[in-house]
Amino acid sequence: MISYTLTPWDSSVFKVKTAEFFFKETTSYSYEEIEARLEEIEKELIQENVEFCYTRISSDDIRLRKLLFEKRFYFAESSLEISKLKIQKFEPKKLPPVSLHLAKKEDISEVKSIAVSAFDFSRFHEDPYIPLEAAQLRYDNWINDLVKQGAIIHLAKVSDQIVGINIQKIDSLKKEASLILCGCKKGAELYVLSLWNEILSYNKEVGIRKISTLISTSNTNMVNIYAHFDFKINNN
């Protein structure tokens, strides 16, 4: 029903011990049962000296929202889970060409630089209690973790000029892809439609049938880009 994991990659940024909650199938339990389980976990986390906890829940789960507010959690970010089906039927749009190149070990510093400087939206970027520098450092650490996880990391180029990145994971059995961090570097925003055109084309080439991602509702530019490519909202 409720579980948690310690997040040492965030602890190194915020300089306090951190953890993330996960709520699953809570509709099968009463409010009192959920509250009791959360209180049990809170006691465990206090014993482990955890000071900062965070989570994501569906906005239509009124019970969880009420419970978390009562536990002094606060709202920081609203996000949308979106997806696009039938990738094999995708027809690339006529746009200036952008090419994707698998990042090498020596390219990771450039990937980090783009992620830190070009991405302004996340649950930590939008949290009014977290300094921007900490949110940016978390992106730097996140890239390290994604490399260890074996995520697919691309540099996007126009000729020899780097214009952006695409980081994603693929479930080969389900033929589904999850976009994790994609976008143009500062100053190269005019290639954004071309980048997504190429990301969709790449996934079509490798046999993907469905692409999903999570975006902040505050990032209206990205909401419009995904709408342009006919992504649909799954949940928020």
Beta strands in the chain (DSSP E): 2-6, 17-23, 50-54, 79-84, 99-102, 152-158, 161-171, 176-184, 210-216, 232-235
Q: What pLDDT sits at residue 236?
A: 59
Lookup: tokens for 98: 């952008």
- The 10 Å Cβ neighbour count of residue 47 is 8
Question: pTM for this one?
Answer: 0.90
Q: What is the pLDDT of residues 169-224, one digit of tens each?
A: 999 999 999 999 999 999 999 999 999 999 999 999 999 999 999 999 999 999 99
What the block records as the tokens of 23 is 């709520």
The predicted-structure confidence for 30-63, as pLDDT tens digits, reads as follows: 999 999 999 999 999 999 999 999 999 998 899 9
